[in-house]
Amino acid sequence: MVDVLLGLQWGDEGKGKIVDYFAGKYDVIARFQGGPNAGHTLYVNGQKVVLHTIPSGVFHTNTLNLIGNGVVLDPVTFKKECEKVSALGIDLGKNLFIAEKTHIIVPSHRALDKASELSKGQEKIGSTLKGIGPAYMDKTGRNGLRVGDVLNPDFQASYEKLKTKHLQLLANYNFSEDIAEWEAEFWDAVEFLRKMNIVRGEYWLNEHLKAGKKVLAEGAQGSMLDVDFGTYPFVTSSNTISAGVCTGLGLAPKWIREVIGVTKAYCTRVGGGPFPTELEDETGEKLRQAGHEFGATTGRPRRCGWIDLVALDYTCMLSGVTQLVMTKSDVLDEFPTVQACTAYEIDGQQTNEMPFNICGVPIKPVLQSFPGWSEPTAKSNSYNTLPVEMKNFLSFVESYLGVPVQYVSNGPGRDQILEK
């Protein structure tokens, strides 16, 4: 069967560590969507490692890893990432596979991303300018290049055709970018890519399932950034909810068993867009510093706020979440009072539902307060030994969402996870 692990907020929930924790129980880890703007942070032998495209099970030698067709892959970023992982003693020739239908980010995609974002002015999305959005646009526009294409002898001609189209679009923006240096890196990385294990992903994965193998599908970004159900237009370009697993890997829904949702004990968001529980004060800054809330990929400071149970309930519903993992619980150790948003107040009326256009309405979060805990949660070596105040907070979250908090991460370490 296939278990799914995905983020339930605006990304940065700590999914990489959680996938790494679970990976040993699975035969295959498969990444089903997103691009290299994802930064999944792991600590391997005390060393911090940030993965952008490679699935987070790569450091488990008996686990196979698949980059699925729902991902967009930048060959340059991918090559650099492979070199870092290989330097840690991992043989990627044995445990990393790429679906041939995975779309490719080309240098001119990055230029288009930059031109598009600049044209928006104050309404910019907060793109990481890595070419991800334009690559997905070419995918749906039926112009894209895929990993399998690099094996064709006429790949360069296909590339030049797409590049010409992009240069015409850039002219419409009155924008130019010298991509010659990017192209040199790109072609070097394409040669590297050609030597990787490129497979017919949908058949490869289904064959493993029929053989009784256990698969963990790994998502990137967060559910509130889903292109259909997130805070549109401040969203990513793919489906980040569990529905994206089937199209992003070529799996039938019948294979999906558990849906494991990851949430922080509070909320963060990077870039523009609405954030009902955002704290633009000393408390928000305290959360940022205590949680080291700076982007793993970009280094950008993350916006911080209290946990939003309205949004969490919404994303649990959309993905059919069966169990929760709460990360960064230890960050709240420093707060004498902890709060949670239990409803939105819009035009004087309270609601527990996500509005159609969360960007277009002033939302006042209805907050419920809970006593903080006076002892460090990192000292707890089991769920039962967590501070009673924290267990009360967790029980309230479970009751509100109707989903059990099955795991609590109480520190950054690889093994600092407590199972209920």
Active-site residues, by number, are 12, 40
Alpha-carbon gap, residue 290 to 269, rounded angstroms: 16
Which residue type sits at 114? K
Contacts of 178 (CB under 8 A, 6+ apart): none
Q: Is residue 222 within 8 Å of 7, Cβ to Cβ? A: yes
CB within 8 Å of 334: residues ≥ 6 apart: 286, 290
Tokens of residue 383, six digits: 């769920």
Task: Say which amino acid occupies 323.
Answer: Q
Distance, in Å, from the CA atom of 386 to the CA atom of 409, rounded to the nearest integer, reads 11
Q: What share of the chain is helix, strand, coil (3-state, %, to 5)?
A: 40, 25, 40
Q: How far apart are CA 406 and CA 419, in angstroms?
A: 6
**What are the φ/ψ torsions at residue 186 (nearest 5 degrees)?**
-60, -50
Say what angle helices 132-140 and 107-120 make with each other, to 10 degrees: 100
The answer to whether 193 touches 93, Cβ cutoff 8 Å, is: no
Per DSSP, the three-state class of 169 is helix
